Amino acid sequence: MGIIHDMRVQGGAQPAMIWNLFMTEATKDLPIENFIRPQDDMINIQVVINPETGEVLLPNRFTPLDQIIIKEFRYGGEPTVQMPITPDDIPIMPMVSLKHINEANHILIEAGYTNIVYKNEPYSEVDSGYTHRQDPMWGQPVETIRKITVWVNP
C-alpha cells in the first residue's frame, strides 16, 4: 500500500481506475449493447458412467482409468457430482509386522501402497531385517495414497 497523488493505493485499485479511464475513452463512440453469449461454449470433461444408475458423474480418486471417458458438455451443463466412494474402493491394510522387510515391502506394493517409509528401530524380540511395528495398523481401510510407516529391526 502507498500514497500516489494524495490517493491511497492498495492492491488493484489504481490499475482498475486506469483501465476504466482508458476503456471509457476507447469506447465512447461505440453503441451500448448487451453481451451476446457465444454459441460455441462447449467444454471437455472427464466423466464416468455409474454402472448401477447410468448417471454421468465426475470420477473419484479410485475410479479406474479404463472407466474414465472424455465427454463434451455445454458450459454450465457439465456434471458436478462425484462418483461415490464405496467402502470396497478402499483396500484393507495388510499385516506386515513380524515379516522380513522384503516380504513386507512386496505385500504393501502388491496391495497398491507406494508411500512406504521404513524406520530402523532396534527390537530384540525379532531377528535383524524383520519388521516389528506398522502404522496404520492392519485390518482397517487405508487409502493407497496414505503414508505407511514400518519399523524394522536393523
> Which of 86, 102, 118 is at the close of a domain?
86
- Domain span at 100: 90-152
Residue 119 lies in a domain: yes
Q: What is the pLDDT of residues 32-78, one digit of tens each?
A: 999 887 777 889 999 999 988 999 999 998 888 999 999 999 888 99
> Cα dihedral sign for 103, 108, 112, 117?
negative
d(CA 43, CA 78): 8
Quick one: 132 and 95 in the same domain?
Answer: yes
Q: What is the pLDDT of residues 129-150, one digit of tens each?
A: 999 999 999 999 999 889 999 9
> How many CB atoms lie under 10 A from the CB of residue 15?
10
Quick one: 67 and 106 in the same domain?
Answer: no
Q: What is the pLDDT of residues 98-119, one digit of tens each?
A: 999 999 999 999 999 999 999 9
> How many CB atoms lie under 10 A from the CB of residue 114?
10
Element (H, E) at 74: strand 69-74
- Length of the chain equals 154
Among residues 115, 112, 104, which one has the least CA distance to residue 153?
104
